[in-house]
Structure 1
Amino acid sequence: MTTGFQFRKIDQEDDLFDYVYGFSALENISGISNGVIIPNGRVDLHLYKTKGGEFCISLVGLETKPKSMREDEITTLFSISFNPLGIEYILQRDIAGILNHGEKLSPDFWDYRESDLDDFSAFCEKSLSMIVSLIPGKTDPRKKQLFDLIFQTNGEMGVRDISQRINWGERQINQYFNNQFGLSLKAYCNILRFQASLAHINNGQLFPQLNYYDQSHFIKEIKRLSGASPKELFKNENNRFLQFLHFNSK
């Protein structure tokens, strides 16, 4: 059985990108053998239906390590991938307490229904309408500058340099990250650098293209965050590493 995957990315020039990275749909999940989810620096709101027919909504915090996918329990999964500012300003909460795991939300969150899993395009439009209605009139400009900078540089800029560029103290930035997201800015930047490296690995570039110290450091970091070597990720046997479905869907 072929696994169905759809992805709709928000354009980086769109003001909405401050809050949302994109939307995805994964169907026929049973076609994936030993699926692995690896850190991507985003926070996912999932709508899904179990094999037992239960409709569920959950919010999954940031991931700092690979985890196995529950392919035996879920048939269809629609997701919104939020950028960090979306958690604070759209969902209006912190996620420090759900680092590396998630929590179930009310089944009527944002007035979603089981029927929303029938049409991915309609799901995207309904979700976008809700998100746009929740965009605040004003945000902290330092936080916007912070995330603009670390996304533009794929997490390669050091914390001190970031602090100086946006005129916000290192200690205050890390306090914000730990309280809001459950990890330090450096740890988050390492995830963004790792994610940027996946595109290179997908193209067969198995040597560091970003600012890793050397090949040994590169392999160690890739293994720490994915549980696999660059070569294993490139092969991606049986589509185990789900983020690579995104690259191959373009």
Structure 2
Amino acid sequence: MISKQNNIIVSPKQPYFVMAASRYYKAVVMDYGISHFYCFQNDLSENSVIAVPDGSIDILFCCDEKEPYATICGTVLQPKIVRNVKNYFFGVRFLPGQSFKFKNIAMKDFVEHEVPLLDVINDNALFEKITSSRDFNYQIQTFMTGYLKFYTTSQASDKYVDLKKQMLQKINDTGGQIKVKELADEAGYSVRYINRVFSEEFGLSPKLFCKLMRFQHLLSNLNDFDKDIYDTNLAQLAIELGYYDQSHMIKDFYELTNTTPGKYVHSLKEKEYKKRLIVV
């Protein structure tokens, strides 16, 4: 499958977490700033797993009976090995670039960091309800009940809300194939202003964010390959995704995953990625 450059939806993916779980359940939302909910049981032998850049924030709940915890995880900027604890996890992955107004922390503080949820959102009841359950639907409903009020308040108090939506829409529509000058021209602001607002509100420069979105779009395409991947596939895909050439695409992919597209597709098949991922 080669992507068509229209109706693009960049949905953030962490494929190595799927491959490290026996079953990985996903409930797609694509609204209210949320990409999807997920849950998985880590019961395999892998002691570590790789997180890849996705431009997104996750809230991850570890539902351990004795020592539950919840963290807000910002995007990594390069592949990062994280400990793979055997337990049941429930997570919320937000849409790329989705930002919130917290009183004591800026979006840039989440980038490449994990922050305890209760240090940012003082809601012990929500924490206890979610971490004491292993019912995926109940956890989703519980989270949304508490989250929608916060989301509405956050949107209403955000003076950049319309500008951010416009910029993110353009980046999403192009799969990251847009220059900062084009974003500025579309919005009617200077490049300097767009760079400042983007960095303050999302914690990343627009150039870097676009790079991560193009990478995530590339991941989506590779995940859909049903047959072996050849140089002709990669060359065509590189052109369609806006890379200079195949070498440029492979270089970027290696930088963000520590592997090549060909080896990545092989891993998907070897680990039976599509069988482990269950969309509900």
Give TM-score, length-normalised by structure 1. Answer: 0.83
- Give the alignment partner of residue 36 of structure 1, picking from 20, 30, 50: 50
Residues 50 and 82 of structure 2 are in contact (CA less than 8 Å); yes or no, is this contact kept in structure 1? Answer: yes
Give the match for residue 78 of structure 1.
Answer: 90
Q: 1:49 to 1:31 in 2, by over 3 A?
A: farther
Residue 150 in 1 paired to residue 171 in 2?
yes
Give the match for residue 112 of structure 1.
Answer: 127
* Structure 1: runs of 5+ lacking an equivalent: none
Residue 83 of structure 1 aligns with an amino acid whose one-letter code is L
Moved over 6 A (4+): none
Give the match for residue 100 of structure 2.
Answer: 88
CA positional deviation for 1:80: 0.8
Residue 24 in 1 paired to residue 38 in 2?
yes
State the SS of the aligned residue for 1:236.
helix
RMSD of Structure 2 on Structure 1 (CA): 2.8
Give the match for residue 222 of structure 2.
Answer: 201
Residue 62 in 1 paired to residue 75 in 2?
yes
Q: 1:115 to 1:96 in 2, by over 3 A?
A: closer
In 1, distance between residues paired with 2:55 and 2:21? 27
In 1, distance between residues paired with 2:222 and 2:89? 26
In 2, distance between residues paired with 1:53 and 1:141? 44
In 1, distance between residues paired with 2:275 and 2:56? 14
Q: 1:239 to 1:187 in 2, by over 3 A?
A: farther
Give the match for residue 142 of structure 2.
Answer: 126
In 2, distance between residues paired with 1:176 and 1:199? 28
In 1, distance between residues paired with 2:167 and 2:125? 29
Give the match for residue 278 of structure 2.
Answer: 249
Cα deviation, 1:200-248, whole Å, max 9, x if unaligned, reads 21214544230000011000000011111001110126649xxx66994
In 2, distance between residues paired with 1:45 and 1:115? 12
CA positional deviation for 1:94: 2.1
* Structure 2: runs of 5+ lacking an equivalent: 1-19
Residue 213 of structure 1 aligns with an amino acid whose one-letter code is Y
- Of structures 1 and 2, the one scoring higher in RCO (CA 8 A, sep 6+) is 2
Cα deviation, 1:110-157, whole Å, max 9, x if unaligned, reads 622164441111111111222222213634311111111112221111
Residues 78 and 117 of structure 1 are in contact (CA less than 8 Å); yes or no, is this contact kept in structure 2? Answer: no
Please, which moves more after superposition, 99-108 or 57-66? 99-108
CA positional deviation for 1:47: 0.4
Q: Give 1:169-184 correspondences, 5 Å limit.
A: 169-184=190-205
In 2, distance between residues paired with 1:151 and 1:98? 22
How many matched pairs?
Answer: 239
Cα deviation, 1:76-120, whole Å, max 9, x if unaligned, reads 21111123564325x565221232121223285562216444111
Please, which moves more after superposition, 127-136 or 40-49? 127-136
Q: 1:178 to 1:115 in 2, by over 3 A?
A: closer
Residue 97 in 1 paired to residue 114 in 2?
no
State the SS of the aligned residue for 1:141.
helix
Please, which moves more after superposition, 148-157 or 135-144? 135-144
In 1, distance between residues paired with 2:184 and 2:125? 36
Q: 1:94 to 1:83 in 2, by over 3 A?
A: farther
In 2, distance between residues paired with 1:126 and 1:61? 22
Q: Give 1:183-222 correspondences, 5 Å limit.
A: 183-202=204-223, 203=225, 204=229, 205-207=233-235, 208=238, 209-222=240-253
Give TM-score, length-normalised by structure 2. Answer: 0.75
Q: Using the aligned pairs only, state the percent identity.
A: 22
